[in-house]
Structure 1
Amino acid sequence: MIDLTGKTAVVTGGSRGIGRAVATTLAAAGARVVIADRSDALRTDGASTSDVITAAGGIAESVLLDIADSQQVDAVFGDVATRFGIDILVNNAGVLSAGTVLETSDEAWRSIFAVNVDGTFFCTRAAIRHMVDAGKGGKVVNVASISGLRANPGFAGYCAAKGAMVNFTRQVGIDYAPLGINVNGVAPGFVETDMTAIYDASIRGALEAQTPNGKWADPQQIADTVLFLSSQLSNHICGEIIAVDGGWLVGTPVVPVASAVSA
């Protein structure tokens, strides 16, 4: 069993979907979890991710953060580092927008990069700064996508942003491996989340049929891989991207589905 007792993990975009599964999984392994995003801290109905974790006996809190704002990121990470230290960062927050180059506006392009790329950079920089200062190593796990490893027709901005995340992960991975900071990534395939609700039933069926194991992932399956990369079991893995996609990348052709997806 993986034991993260005594570790503090910051999870961005942890209010739902993959992020919530990651946060609850890290907490169940004993980590103190800080959920940092634009919505979880605002919930007052007892259903925030931190509420779910504390109700289950874990340790968690939610903080308000726009990861596209570097000053906010530095302030929040500085506060967390001062109070608890930062041992693990999971860059999960992301946005999706469909469209070819001609269908992608300036605003949509900048929004995709502001969250998926800039936000990942700001949070990684802030976390690693504190990890280096503490001198105890650390773990950074970036939630990318199979769309960052292979083209996905009709998603120009998203593929470009996730591709940037992939190579950023590789670069930071080799830069900080000598200091005992493992930076790796997870590339989910199709997962049961709000984000993939843009696919209609017919397209979903086609995608499932062409996935070697015949089904989409549950967020927990992504979270289990993040847990592994957040633990000592991954100490000799640096700058790698693990696809969690049911065999999609290695076993299927590119399928042009953008025409059946609502932008």
Structure 2
Amino acid sequence: MSKIDLSGKHALVTGGSSGIGAAVVRALAAAGASVSVMARKPNHSAQDEKMYDNPKVEFIELDVSDSKAVTRVFADVAARKGIDISVLSAGLLLAGKLLDTDDESWRRTMAVNLDGLFYTTRESIRHMMAQGRGGKVVSIGSISGYRGNQGFAAYCTSKGGALNFTRQVAMDYAAHGINVNAIAPGFIYTSMTDIYDKETKAKLAAQTPDGKWGTSQQVADAVLFLSSNLADHIHGQSILVDGGWTLGVFAQP
């Protein structure tokens, strides 16, 4: 069995100060990679876990919806450390059916979930191409890219677009040794999913074939695989980490 060893690689993780992103940072660092964590602001819980005490981990303030800032920050990281792995985890979840979604909420969602993904993927690919040694780009999508989720019109739309964006970019740059893939988490315990109350969480778990919500670590494990040479022949795919939720209607025995 192959062991994942990312020694000598440099990774950047957007949205990496909390939740799934923070779990990804810890997984990459544990595998030997140095990591640039990019987020709008540090998360105190992540700092309490001493994530940033690791000399291989640095924090960089970045709003992924700011195209000029993304270009500047990625160029700086590429010049100082190179970019071998990009994990694009920044995301925004706003609830609302179509008629409850105002222009500002729609644009905020698209600015982070689609525009931000476009800006950060573009700069990742740009620098990987210039380096000439390939690379791995892994975005964090959602099961909402595959099917509707009642009451989340903007979010589901953005994640559906992100899924096809992954396929398209993968097709365009596979010949250059750049693997572009995605992870589509289901219901995962993070601060983002605290919008669900306890009763709703229990109902969603009951609708899941394995009967439970997932953890950030389980998502990070899948990211680690796609970031490694074990995934060298995988392009444009989205790995569902959802306990089987998207398989169809689940009738409890």
Give the TM interval when normalised to the shorter protein.
over 0.9
Q: Work out whether 1:95 is the aligned partner of 2:92.
A: yes
Q: 1:52 aligns with which of 44, 50, 53?
A: 50
Mapping for residues 54-203 of structure 1, pairs under 5 Å: 54-55=52-53, 57=54, 59-203=56-200
Which residue does the alignment assign to 1:25? Answer: 27
> Would the alpha carbon gap of residues 202 and 62 (structure 1) be closer, same or farther in structure 2, given more than 3 Å must change?
same
1:238-263 CA distance string (max 9 Å, x none): 0001100000000436xxxxxxxxxx
1:257 is matched with none
Q: How far 1:193 moved relative to its partner?
A: 0.4
Give the distance between the partners of 1:10 and 1:95, measured in 2 at CA: 19
Contact kept? 1:28, 1:58, Cα under 8 Å? no
| Secondary structure class of the residue paired with 2:166 | helix
C-alpha distance in 1, partners of 2:168/2:45? Answer: 40
Native 8 Å contact 1:27 1:53 kept in 2: no
Q: Shift of the alpha carbon at 1:157?
A: 0.1
* Cα deviation code 1:45-104 (max 9, x no counterpart): 79538x82353x550100010110110001000000000100010110000011111000
Over 3 Å counting, the alpha-carbon distance change for 1:92 and 1:47 in structure 2 is closer
Give the 3 Å change call, closer, same or farther, for CA 233–82 of structure 1 in structure 2: same
1:114 & 1:205 partners in 2: Cα distance?
Answer: 32
**Separation in 2, partners of 1:85, 1:201:** 43
In structure 2, the residue matched to 1:11 is 13
Distance 1:91 1:149 in 2: 19
The alpha-carbon deviation at position 154 of structure 1 amounts to 1.1
Q: How far apart in 2 are the matches of 1:167 and 1:208?
A: 28
Q: Which runs of 5+ in 2 are unaligned?
A: none
Contact 2:18 2:45 survives alignment (8 Å): no
1:240 aligned residue: 237
Identity of aligned residues (%): 55
Give structure 1 stretches of 5+ with no counterpart. 254-263
Instruction: Please report how far the alpha carbon of residue 201 of structure 1 lies from its aligned counterpart in structure 2 after TM superposition.
Output: 1.5
- Encode CA deviations 1:217-254: one digit per residue, 9 max, x unaligned: 0100000000000000000100001100000000436x
Residue in 2 that maps onto 1:260: none
- Alignment partner of 2:38: what SS? strand
Contact 2:37/2:57 (8 A) holds in 1: yes
What do residues 86-140 of structure 1 show as CA deviations (whole Å, max 9, x unaligned)? 0010110000011111000100000000001000110010111000011100000
User: TM-score if structure 2 supplies the norm length?
Assistant: 0.95
Equivalent pair of 1:30/1:58 in contact (CA under 8 Å): no
Distance 1:116 1:83 in 2: 27
In 1: Cα distance, 2:71 partner to 2:47 partner: 23
Q: Is the aligned partner of 1:204 residue 2:201? A: yes
Q: Does 1:216 align with 2:213?
A: yes
Mapped to 2, the partners of 1:6 and 1:29 lie a distance apart of 10
- Taking structure 1 as the reference length, the TM-score comes to 0.91
Aligned residue-pair number: 248
Aligned to 1:256: none
Structure 2: which amino acid aligns with 1:48?
Answer: Q
Three-state SS of the structure 2 residue aligned to 1:86 is coil
Distance 2:174 2:50 in 1: 34
Tell me, in whole angstroms, the C-alpha distance in 2 between the residues paired with 1:177 and 1:47: 34
Deviations 1:185-204 (A, max 9, x none): 00000000011111112111
Contact 2:137–2:180 (CA under 8 A) maintained in structure 1 = yes
